[in-house]
Every structure is written in structure tokens, then in C-alpha cells.
Structure 1
Amino acid sequence: MECHEDFISYLDSDTSLKILECLDDPADLVRVTCVSRSLRQSVIANGLCKQLCLRMFPQLSRVAFVVELNEQGGKQHAEVGSSNSMEWLVLQREHRVFSYLSKALMSSVAMNCIAKTIGASSTDNFPQESIDHTLEPRDVIGGRYSYWSSNGQSNPNVPETLTYELVSQICLITEINIRPFEAYFQLGSPIYSASSVRFKMGHPKASLDAVDDELFVWTYTSPEFPMSQENKLQTFKLPEPVLCIGGILQIELLGRVQRQEMDGLLYICVSHVQVLGGSLSPPFNVEILQPSGIFVLKRDQLASEEPKIVRDIRRLVTILQARGAGVLEWDQDDDDIYDSDPEYAL
């Protein structure tokens, strides 16, 4: 017990690396870097924080490189020196960025991440039945029913899409909630749901002047979820949380089940849509590199390194504004772990 030597120094590099790769909690990796200099160098040199983030969120595999912004808002440049020192500075920067990113991913607060609508594949009566109405949770506004309606079709297999812009270009999405519309004003109060739904996330290719698949690059497509013909907010939880890079989400409504008695055509109508998750901006942002679709991950140091009490108040305000949405787990002790490392000290 009187010996305080680092046991890692007695292991060969492959063995120590295999041990460290067994860690599956980002906070544990940060703890390891506080134990000894050799452990810290091993974690940074092997990019273990980046590897763990990639395992948790495969969408990060499209990161070309990372950039840190200093307090003046400019890019942080490496100092002049040997190629080895330059490489080490790059590894240190990646370690810092992905460490803070993993912390942000694990402590995100659940909120509705829709910023605005982009468009629908079709609309029966515009603007009375436009996609904009799906952002409103109330059934009736100003004495009028609030919902989106597709055009009528005789073929039940004709799909529809609703496309939204999220609150930032980098969001962690956990579930999408949809309430089909029940037409109380029609005989029998029919519910115009779809048979199933599927979700796509990605980024625009160019402008968003029109809704067309050619304008978007989809980097994630969910499994297909069955939809019930019920007038309630139906929850579609993703198999794993998804990092939406580019800030675009599209809902595919597949299969028509309800025929309108007036014209005999099949419609899909949606009353309300929620996209639950958390925004990572600030302090993180992305820059999509066209036409490759790879992106630059940017971290704003000034936003990352605000005083701890300010972070706590910001989280509390976000929780209070979440309109009853659940809160992802936040362990205050993990904040202390990051702050205890001189690399992360405020």
C-alpha cells in the first residue's frame, strides 16, 4: 500500500489499450486521465474518447476534423513545431472536443426539437390544412380545427412526407410523437392515420426552396413503426438515440387506411408532431462540406467553459421550458469529474 507506482507502466501497450477499450462510459475515460500521466497519454494517443463517441453514435463517423474556437471567436491554431508535436496537439484537441461532446450527449435535456416546418409532400386545402398546424398541440384554434391533410388518393400505398427543420444543426433525437387527426365534423368521426411511419434525418444539399428528396442527404433512416388508428399522441421511440447532423427530419407516412365518405378517396391527416431530444448548440456546431457530405465539428470554448452555476441554471430553465417532457439522466457528479481534470478546469 505504500507503493504508489503506476501499474500501467508494467504492461505492454497492447494489453493496457485492451483494458482501456473496455470502458464504455465517457466519464470513466475522463476519470482515467486524472489517475496518472501515462494513462492520460495512452487515452489521448489512441483517441479513446473519439472511438467511444463513434461506437455510441455512428453518425460521427462523417467527422472530417474538429475545430476549437477561442474566447475571441477565432479558430484555435496549433503552435509551430516538429511534426510530432503538431500531431500531439491535434490529438489533444480531438480528446478535448470529444470528451466535452460525450459529456453533452450524456447530459442533454429532453425538449421538443422542432424549430419550424419545411413542407409536406401534398396538402389538400392550403393554408387551412397546412403542415404548420402540426406544431400546435391544441385541436381547435380560433374556432377552427387544427391539422394537416394530404391530398386524396385511390391507391392506399401512396406515401406522404412531412419535413421539419430542427432547433440546431446538431441534435440528439430519442423519439418522435405523432397524433393522427380525428374528423369530428364527419359522420362516424373517422381517424385519418397512416398504417406505419418511418423517420429520416440528415442535411440539405443546397437551398430549401422546395420539398424534394433531391435537396436532402439522409444519413439515418429508422425502422418502420406500425401506427394505430387512435386519436392520441403516439410515441415512436428510436432503437437508439440518434445524432441528427444537419438539422433536418422527415416523417414518412406509409399506407392509407381511412377513406373519406364524401369523395371515396383515402387521406392521411396529422394533428400534432413532437420531436423529442436535445440540442447540442451551443457549444457545439457543425459545418457540412459540400458535396462530400462530411462535416467539421466545432466547439466554442467560451460556451463550453461558462461557470458551473450558470450551467446549472441554464439546465433548470430548459427543464422548466420543456412543457412536461421527461429529462434525460444528469449526474451532477459527472460535472465535477470533468472540472477536476486540469485539462477541463474552468
Structure 2
Amino acid sequence: MEACMGFLDRLDPDILLKIFTYVDDPYDLVRVSSISRSWQHFVIANGLWKQLCLRKFSQLSRVAHVVELNKCWAVDAVQVGSSYSKEWEYLERDDRAYALLARASTTFTDRDCILKAISASSTDNYPQESIYNTLHPANNVRWRASYWSSKGQSNPAVPETLEYKLVDEFCVITEINLRPFQVYFDKGLPICSAKSVRFRVGHPKSPTDSGNDLPGYSLPDSADDKFVWTYTSQEFPMAQESHLQKFRLPEPVLCVGGILQIELLGRVHRCEIDGLYYICISFVQVLGRPLSPAFGVEILEPCGKFVLKIKNHRPFELQAQSNHTALAQLQKHLRDLQHISYIANMLHGNGNLVVNIDESEMDEGEDEYLL
């Protein structure tokens, strides 16, 4: 134990924390915590799980506080104990919450995350050309072409937007796919794609704008009047082709509030009959993962922050490894950390410092922390 504490104590705290900013894999942080009780204490005290999550999802900076709805391990004495005991309980709670969130956001298979279509900025012919048609992967439904069409515009720069409600108010989104509509019944078989596309995620400004009672074809006001956007993607170019076009986000995005907007920028096809420009989309797919039933959120208005609710700790826990495999991985990462610490001490003029870790304590920490 003393050797482990010495390793942590002999490094400058800022340098040590800087080292841990390079730990981006949840499995690696589990292994670090498993080295010993002192290392686990260090991870909790410095909020390393929270820091890892904030690096992955900037939207988490809006968390007001964390609530555990099923605290089977709650310690009643904390409520009447010292301020230090209360503070440590809060740190342990955050450690559990963000550790679970980090695992949940990285260990999953993508699935379709659209629950329903909410509205379009315009619709040319409702309901035959409504946004609801974009939920069907088939080009034809009931012997009719299935697509959404905007109203025509003389200015090709006028944008259009489509809003969707996701399957959960707390989701990780990784990819959004669109298929432009090819007008097979017009001369030349034109494709009514946009020039580019941009994506936003957010939440309703008020509970009455949850998306359950919105009209489904066009909002009477701008969508910006009803929704708060917490993430806006880069602009992606669209091909003038009718196949499914895939737009992988640079990093997975956390959607707090369950609302997605697709902004279609620039019109290409000009109708010969009326001389106006149109955008038509036949299918929309959003890939990611809902974070229920483990998590829930409560939006706090008007500040825009939210409460992160932990409902269930079991669904996203990491799979247990064999003792032999886990120990080998821990020892490898330990050697890496010892090498980094040696370099750090060289920079501080302590090149003769030799750090040893008690492997018997590492075995104890492994049994205690590995899932």
C-alpha cells in the first residue's frame, strides 16, 4: 500500500492528472481503478470518469447534478455526518454515474433511433408528400411513391428543415442517413437532392412542445421558437444521387431532450412546369442508441441545464474478464504508467527515483473493482 501511495504522491498532481487525460477508453480507466484501493481513491477524488465523459460529450457540461433513483447502497449516516463524508458520498455517486455513462456510450450496436416525424418547414402537397413518408425505407408504399416534398421556391438558397422525435430523451447518435427522391414520373428522371445537409439535436423549450402534439407537416412558427438546439454539426455535402447517403458524425453526439433537426441547404432541381426549386427526401434513418432504462434526464428551464438521473446500473456494465487476462492487462498498463512517471520525474530532476507497486494489492483491487 505504501509503495502505491508513494507512486502517486511523488508525482506533481498536475502532471499526473495530465497523464490521465490520455486515458480515453473506459476499459483502461477500469483497469487503472483496479490497480489498488489507493488508485481507485485517486480516480474517485479527481472525478476522472466525469472528465472522460466531458471529453467525449461537451453537452454534459450542462449537468446541474446527478440523482440516483435506486440507491440500494445509500449510507444513511452520511445525511447527519461530517461535511467531508457528504462530499465523498457525492464524489462516489458521480463516479458511479459517469462510469456507467462512459460504458453505455461506447459498448453498443447502432440501431434506428427515430420514434416519429414531428414537422417539416414546408410541405408541397399534404398528406401525400408529408414528412411521415420519410419513415418508410421502401420507395413505394401501397403502389404510390413515398417521399416528402418541400414547397417550391424561386430562390434556390432557401433552406428546409425536418424535425424528428427520437425513441428516448437521452440518446447517443452516431450516424444519420438520407435518400433523396428521384422523380421517376418527370422528364429526365431528376433527383431532388439538397446541395448539403446539417444536423442539430436538442430539446423542447417547454413540456407542451414535446413533439407529441405537433402537426406533422409544417410548424406555424420557426422550429427555433419551439426547440433549444444544443449541438450543431458541420455541413456535409450531398451527392445528386438517389441511393442512401450516409453521414457519420465525427464523434458520437449526446442528444439531451430527444429532438433531431435535419437542415437541407441549397436546391438543385428546378421544375420545368412552374420554374420553382424543390427538395424531396424519400427516407431518413438515425443510428445510435437510447440510454434508457439506465438513464433519464430532466430539463431545467429557463437555465437549460439538466438533471442526470441514474435509474438502473445493470444494463451497461462491462463484461467480466478472466483473472489471467485482466491481470495481464493491468500489469501492462502499470508498466506504461511507470514509464510515463519516470519521464515526468526526469523532467523534475528526479531521475534516480524508482517506483515499485505492490502486486498483491493490485490483485485485491482487481477483485474489488473489475466487473
Distance 1:220 1:258 in 2: 30
Q: Deviations over 1:223-261 (max 9, x none)?
A: 111111111001111111111111110000111110112
1:342: Cα distance to partner?
A: 3.9
Distance 2:75 2:303 in 1: 24
Question: Which of 304, 314, 336 is the equivalent residue of 1:305?
Answer: 314
Q: What is the TM-score of this pair, normalised by structure 1?
A: 0.85
What does residue 82 of structure 1 align with? Answer: 82
1:205: Cα distance to partner?
A: 0.2
Q: Deviations over 1:79-125 (max 9, x none)?
A: 32111100000000000000011010111220111110110000011
1:11 is the counterpart of 2:7: no
Distance 2:156 2:244 in 1: 23
The farther-off stretch of 150-159 and 30-39 is 30-39
Q: Deviations over 1:23-52 (max 9, x none)?
A: 222222222222212111111111011011
Asked if structure 2 preserves the Cα contact closer than 8 Å seen for 1:203 and 1:248, the reply is yes
Summarize the alignment of residues 82-161 of structure 1 with structure 2, pairs less than 5 Å apart. Answer: 82-161=82-161
Distance 1:96 1:40 in 2: 12
1:343: Cα distance to partner?
A: 5.9
Q: What is the TM-score of this pair, normalised by structure 2?
A: 0.79
1:344: Cα distance to partner?
A: 7.5
Distance 2:184 2:230 in 1: 39
**Secondary structure in structure 2 of the residue aligned to 1:106:** coil
**Secondary structure in structure 2 of the residue aligned to 1:59:** helix
**Secondary structure in structure 1 of the residue aligned to 2:201:** strand
Distance 1:52 1:128 in 2: 47
Q: Deviations over 1:189-242 (max 9, x none)?
A: 111111111111111101334632111111111111111111100111111111
1:285: Cα distance to partner?
A: 1.2
Gaps in structure 2 of 5+ consecutive residues: 327-364
1:28 is the counterpart of 2:34: no
Q: Deviations over 1:157-198 (max 9, x none)?
A: 111000001111111111110000011111111111111111
Count of equivalent residues = 317
Gaps in structure 1 of 5+ consecutive residues: 313-330
What does residue 62 of structure 1 align with? Answer: 62
**Secondary structure in structure 2 of the residue aligned to 1:88:** helix
Asked if structure 2 preserves the Cα contact closer than 8 Å seen for 1:17 and 1:42, the reply is no
Distance 1:305 1:342 in 2: 17
1:283 is the counterpart of 2:281: no
Amino acid at match of 2:34: C
Distance 1:262 1:334 in 2: 66
Distance 1:130 1:154 in 2: 21
**Secondary structure in structure 2 of the residue aligned to 1:5:** helix
Q: Which protein shows a greater Rg?
A: 2
Distance 2:2 2:83 in 1: 34
Asked if structure 2 preserves the Cα contact closer than 8 Å seen for 1:27 and 1:334, the reply is no
Question: Which of 270, 273, 282 is the equivalent residue of 1:262?
Answer: 273
- Bigger relative contact order (CA 8 A; separation at least 6): 2
Q: 1:270 to 1:21 in 2, by over 3 A?
A: closer
Asked if structure 2 preserves the Cα contact closer than 8 Å seen for 1:69 and 1:76, the reply is no
What does residue 322 of structure 1 align with? Answer: none
Distance 1:49 1:341 in 2: 20
Q: Deviations over 1:318-346 (max 9, x none)?
A: xxxxxxxxxxxxx8557997x9664676x
Distance 2:75 2:190 in 1: 59
**Secondary structure in structure 2 of the residue aligned to 1:165:** strand
CA RMSD for the aligned pairs?
Answer: 2.6
Asked if structure 2 preserves the Cα contact closer than 8 Å seen for 1:8 and 1:16, the reply is no
Q: 1:115 to 1:76 in 2, by over 3 A?
A: farther
**Secondary structure in structure 2 of the residue aligned to 1:241:** strand
Distance 1:253 1:9 in 2: 52
